Amino acid sequence: MTLPITDTIIAALAQLVDDSKSNGEYREPSHFDIEFYVGRTGLTSADPKAQGQVIGKAKRVTAILSWAIDNNPNAGSKLIEQLLSKVRASGGFREQSANFVGSEAILNAIFTFDAEGYELSKDGDIRPKVLESLKGRELTLALQTYARRAQKGAQNAALLSGTGKDLLEATAAHILQTKWGLYSSGANFQGLLGQTYMALGLTVPEQAAQPSESPTKALERAMFQTACATNRLRKKEGTGHGRPWLSSITNTEATAAIEMVGTIAGFLLSKLDKNC
């Protein structure tokens, strides 16, 4: 699981690792714990302590993760996961524990992760939302979240957790369900996408260009072809565990495909918003 890394999540996590503000009491994780996890994730060069600065835990974690957003988001995601695990293991989510982080900090984290497509329980367990349980506007927002993450190259945004669908397939199915009240689960990807284009009033490659048409029509056709090309790169066997792309393509090609999937899904969902 690769957790999302955003400014709001960093702020929420900083509250979870900080010492108590009400009485100034020490809470785990310690500075030593933070140093251990920072070293494990390869982020020591971003640690203010490694540069001789003496600052609190919240500011320290914020500085490290803020650097990671732009320079090493995968390492930042791992650090978020490990610090969350440490807070949970130390009793940070148990009200009876001396390390309890406080109800407000926990609720802030729950709402923040929820907005990024993850469910953080009150006892500290975290998992991706199961999108098949969502409907209507709630599903639209969840898919938009995945699209934003895919646009940043997030590997696990391409194949949705809890389903066998990739982001574009799930987006197309949701749009057809919203617009027409049903969709053909047996249709191949190109047919499903073609129906989605029809539902949104977009132009497919089979429609010949007209002299007076808007330049956006060419963009719509290109996105259709790109979506079909990225779908052909999908690993078809299994249930989506592990790398969701054919082994013959490089990480550079896979990242580009993920980013294009996110861009196209975001485009289709924005068209749905305007049409509804």
Return d(Cα 276, Cα 271) in angstroms, integer. Answer: 9
Is the peptide bond between 29 and the residue preceding it cis, with omega within 30 degrees of 0?
A: yes
What's residue 152's pLDDT? 76
Model confidence over 154-209: pLDDT tens digits? 665 555 543 446 888 889 999 999 998 887 777 888 999 999 999 999 999 999 98
Identify which has the larger pLDDT, 48 or 235.
48
Q: What is the pLDDT of residues 28-82, one digit of tens each?
A: 999 999 999 999 999 999 999 999 998 999 999 999 999 999 999 889 999 999 9
The whole model's pTM is what? Answer: 0.64
Chain position carrying tokens 């073609």: 194
Is the pLDDT confidence value at 275 over 80? no
Q: What is the pLDDT of residues 254-272, one digit of tens each?
A: 888 888 988 999 999 999 9
Answer yes or no: are the C-beta atoms of 225 and 217 closer than 8 Å: no
**Residue reference for tokens 């808007």:** 214
What pLDDT score was predicted for residue 238? Answer: 39
Contact between 90 and 99 under an 8 Å Cβ cutoff? The reply is: yes
- Say if residue 2's pLDDT is above 80: no
The overall average pLDDT reported for the chain is 86
Average pLDDT over residues 134-156: 79
> Residue 196: CB partners within 8 Å, gap ≥ 6?
171, 172, 175, 176, 268
